[in-house]
Structure 1
Amino acid sequence: MRRLWPLTARGTGALILAVACFIIANEVGIVELMYFGILLIAVLAASVVSLYLTRRSETVSRSLSPDAATVGRDALVTVRVGVRTALPTAPGTWRDTVPKGLTANAQGVFPALSSGLRGAERIIELSYVATGTRRGIHPLGPLQVTSKDPFGLARRTTMFGERTKVTVAPSVIDLPALSNFAGEAGGTLHTTNNQLGQGADNLIARPYVPGDSMRRIHWRATAHRDELMVRQEEQESTPEATVVMDRGVLRFSPEAMQAPGTDAGFEAAVSACVSVVTRLVHDGYGVEVIDSDGSMLAERIDGGDMTEVEGLVNHFATVTARRDEHLGKLVRVFAGVMTGPVVLIVGRFDPADADIIAPVAHHSTLPLLLAVTPVGDSLERAADLGWHTALIEPDGDLAASWSGAADRGVSHALR
């Protein structure tokens, strides 16, 4: 906040003393007091003027490391201030304006500067650690710098209005791998062999081309031909997985439609979604992320492509709930299709919903259901219909729920 009164406590005291000198000099006729009061006023005026002849800023920029903040995790904010000054300046203080989506102790000492009449603009770097508290895109700034004259009589507070939009991504929880399931649910890149005969001698080799897996190299043929050869019959396939996030607002609260970070249940669902995608892609799955009506929430991510996962997490910083209710359409999305793991993340979930989505379980090698607000025995009913189910809560242990759902069928989040 910009201060309207330019004097410090010391300067205010000097002004009061000067006024007192004028009054006493007028009453008792002591001329020296009049001169002393004039001197104090002159010093105060010079102190105020000196502040406007010294420091001047032209540029303010900010950068984050990493590039996007994450709920519950720290990010280093670096503020670069371009400064020009005609006269040497004393140290001051600075404070950066932090929005509600972040918490930080964004203040410190602004360094003293020497005269820069002949020099170019100097860059002052300020830094602090910020922690994400609310998902979304938030404006960081403006920067406030307070300067004092060398005598500490006057101060000048300057607001540099440049703001930086900071992305606060949802929290990503480290989940255990689906290591207890083989084949399509195993989570690793696997190979299917279609060999024409028995033994390595019956394999047909062809020259290596960029993009072939090193696991397909036929070493005997390579030694014979003196060039890299690969097995032509060996075909690699990446297991597929689908993550479904039902964004229907009726399953959460109306606040979930207004802005990111306003509904705790919806935030738990978003965090679960990006955490599951991160785990599956890390384990080698090609993952599609869709809404309950089959619409894409993100482009398909190939197994092991963690760069695209990072982009997905940042994209989900602005995801909100929607008005329409489409959970009943999920059955048509998987009709006639057999796929790998299907992870359905939903808010409110009642027994009738379990009956509606029952056919989907028979089209997946591992159907998992994560519900924020299950009603009655809905999870048990879904488990009886083939789903592996778990309760997830805003303050619960998502990793325990995920592990329990995959291993035991029905689990409850640890409180």
Structure 2
Amino acid sequence: MSAGAPRGAGGRGGGMRASLSGLTTRGRSFLAAGIAAAVCAYVLGQGALLRVGLLLALLPLLCVYALHRTRYRVSGSRRLTPGRVPAGAEARVQLRMDNTSRLPTGLLMLQDRVPYVLGPRPRFVLDRVEPGGRREVSYRVRSDLRGRYPLGPLQLRLTDPFGLVELTRSFSAFDTLTVIPRTEPLAPVRLSGESSGYGDGSRRSLALAGDDDVIPRGYRRGDDLRRVHWRSTARYGELMVRREEQPQRSRATVLLDTRQLAFEGAGPDSAFEWAVSAAASSLVHLLEQGYAVRLLTDTGDCVPGLGGGGFSSGGHESAEAAGLMMDTLAVVGHSDGTGLTRAYDAVRGGGGGFGEVGGDGLLIAFFGDLDDVQTDLAAKMRQRTGGAVAFVLDSATWAGQPARDHALPSVEQRLHRLRDAGWTALAAPPGAAFGELWRRAGSTAFGTGTPGGRG
């Protein structure tokens, strides 16, 4: 929720000049008529006409002064719910105006600035607001394009009861609407025989709660004395306690190819947008299944971060990591890279990668166009992972255009080489439902579907 008061000019004199510029045609006419009447009264020596002229001239000036002071007595706020929505979904924006002065306001017009992609600019007319009163209005925004869109500043148009002055003030507060990629629910399939997020197939690691471990550790303040390991205490000459353990979460990496040269076309129905949406669906599904997940791009950048190899943690931190990954996908664009070398290093390298966890991590990859060199490099990523599933897109087919580079291997050739390296590789045709491809990947991995997968 954002709130604030209208922004004023840099100084009092500058603000008054800006207020004078808000005189309407009626106000300027009153001022001109008053000045003319005062001049005529002075020339003709008519005192009554002079009083009329002064009244006509002073009335718009008094209205200017009143509105100039009113701008500091009105506060506005905006509430955006929710702040993160999938593409195509609506968010609700609620505006509230509070009259904090002791005087009623005149007619008010609210206008909120929104990007064109979110819809038309909302405008509202508010009647007189009593002292201490409040008015609330709302509108909805939606976008079919992912991204981060600013909302604001809120603009307030003030008018006096006589319609002589009309001033527009802008509030300083902004809000940001994050439109994340569309996701679809995925079936809980097993891919290449990897263990589930938790369970009998999971390894066990040292932690702070769970069953006893035979390896003791030094006593720490607050440890339960019932966990003292007396044999080790006698051996080491200091108080030792039994360690505890808990199941370690299986790890999964979602690799998204973002290279500009690997994709053609743009818009919600392009190959790249399909890959982004499918990657988001995979991330959400794997997190729901209990995996520690990271998002990796061809640039080698990991999300949520470098700690633990970029993998998400459990509990509240996992929810934060999910939000961070979805925010990243909301704004991810094409990279200028020409190859997958950095992604290969991130998958095969250390720093919390698969090599540290015994090589049983799951790799889900979304590839655009691959030449011979990049196809071989992608195939080698499979060697130290417990399971690898690739969804390969041919961007020229998606764009309905002839291939840009006839030297590129065909989709069938790319799939064959990936499968020979042990990948479960599937082609993603234009407009394909990712949920169906996901189920096919699960059945192919165990040899019950389309041939080519290896467990």
Deviation at residue 104 of structure 1 after TM alignment: 5.7
User: 2: CA distance between counterparts of 1:342 and 1:325?
Assistant: 21
Give the 3-state SS of the residue equivalent to 1:147 in structure 2.
Answer: strand
Q: Contact 1:22–1:33 (CA<8 Å) still a contact in 2?
A: yes
How many residue pairs are counted as aligned between the two chains? 361
**Per the alignment, do residues 391 and 349 of structure 1 end up closer, same or farther by CA in structure 2, a change over 3 Å counting?**
farther
**Per the alignment, do residues 97 and 329 of structure 1 end up closer, same or farther by CA in structure 2, a change over 3 Å counting?**
closer
Give the 3-state SS of the residue equivalent to 1:85 in structure 2.
Answer: coil
2:184 match = 174
1:152 match = 163
2:125 match = 109
User: 2: CA distance between counterparts of 1:102 and 1:3?
Assistant: 32
**Unaligned stretches of 5+ residues in structure 1:** 117-121, 195-208, 213-233, 411-415
Deviation at residue 96 of structure 1 after TM alignment: 1.2
State the TM-score, normalizing by the size of structure 2. Answer: 0.61
User: 2: CA distance between counterparts of 1:294 and 1:283?
Assistant: 25
**Structure 1 range deviating more: 278-287 or 335-344:** 335-344
**Per the alignment, do residues 367 and 398 of structure 1 end up closer, same or farther by CA in structure 2, a change over 3 Å counting?**
closer
**Do residues 64 (structure 1) and 86 (structure 2) align?**
no
1:191 match = 200
**Structure 1 range deviating more: 351-360 or 270-279:** 351-360
2:222 match = none
Deviation at residue 65 of structure 1 after TM alignment: 2.1
Deviation at residue 147 of structure 1 after TM alignment: 1.6
Give the 3-state SS of the residue equivalent to 2:278 in structure 1.
Answer: helix
Counterparts in 2 of 1:326-345, with a 5 A limit?
A: 326-328=339-341, 333-334=347-348, 338-345=359-366
**Do residues 365 (structure 1) and 387 (structure 2) align?**
yes
**Do residues 286 (structure 1) and 305 (structure 2) align?**
no
2:214 match = none
Deviation at residue 92 of structure 1 after TM alignment: 0.9
Q: Contact 1:11–1:153 (CA<8 Å) still a contact in 2?
A: yes
2:236 match = none
Q: Contact 1:76–1:128 (CA<8 Å) still a contact in 2?
A: yes
User: 2: CA distance between counterparts of 1:311 and 1:402?
Assistant: 24
Aligned equivalent of 2:412, options 373, 380, 386: 380
User: 1: CA distance between counterparts of 2:56 and 2:313?
Assistant: 74
> What per-residue deviation string (whole Å, max 9, x for no partner) do you get for residues 342-371 of structure 1?
211233334653344224346443422243
1:271 match = 277
Give the 3-state SS of the residue equivalent to 2:140 in structure 1.
Answer: strand
Q: Contact 2:74–2:101 (CA<8 Å) still a contact in 1?
A: no
Counterparts in 2 of 1:105-254, with a 5 A limit?
A: 105-110=121-126, 112-115=128-131, 126-132=137-143, 134-160=145-171, 162-179=172-189, 181=191, 183-184=193-194, 187=196, 189-192=198-201, 210=209, 236=247, 238-252=249-263
User: 2: CA distance between counterparts of 1:211 and 1:110?
Assistant: 61
Instruction: Give the AA of the match of 1:175.
Output: P
> What per-residue deviation string (whole Å, max 9, x for no partner) do you get for residues 79-130 of structure 1?
45564334221231101111356446533234533346xxxxx776554323
1:90 match = 106
1:225 match = none
Q: Contact 1:139–1:165 (CA<8 Å) still a contact in 2?
A: yes
Deviation at residue 380 of structure 1 after TM alignment: 2.0
Q: Contact 1:173–1:271 (CA<8 Å) still a contact in 2?
A: yes
User: 2: CA distance between counterparts of 1:369 and 1:303?
Assistant: 28
Aligned equivalent of 2:427, options 386, 390, 400: 390
User: 1: CA distance between counterparts of 2:365 and 2:192?
Assistant: 21
State the TM-score, normalizing by the size of structure 1. Answer: 0.66
Counterparts in 2 of 1:70-85, with a 5 A limit?
A: 70-79=86-95, 83-85=99-101
- Taking only aligned residues, the RMSD between alpha carbons, in angstroms, comes to 4.8
**Per the alignment, do residues 398 and 5 of structure 1 end up closer, same or farther by CA in structure 2, a change over 3 Å counting?**
farther
**Per the alignment, do residues 123 and 348 of structure 1 end up closer, same or farther by CA in structure 2, a change over 3 Å counting?**
farther
User: 2: CA distance between counterparts of 1:389 and 1:3?
Assistant: 66
Q: Contact 2:87–2:143 (CA<8 Å) still a contact in 1?
A: yes
Deviation at residue 341 of structure 1 after TM alignment: 3.3
Instruction: Give the AA of the match of 1:141.
Output: G
Deviation at residue 267 of structure 1 after TM alignment: 4.4
**Do residues 296 (structure 1) and 302 (structure 2) align?**
yes
Identity %: 27
User: 2: CA distance between counterparts of 1:392 and 1:22?
Assistant: 81
**Per the alignment, do residues 59 and 15 of structure 1 end up closer, same or farther by CA in structure 2, a change over 3 Å counting?**
closer
Q: Say which structure is richer in strand.
A: 1
Deviation at residue 300 of structure 1 after TM alignment: 0.8
**Unaligned stretches of 5+ residues in structure 2:** 1-17, 212-244, 305-309, 350-354, 397-402, 451-455
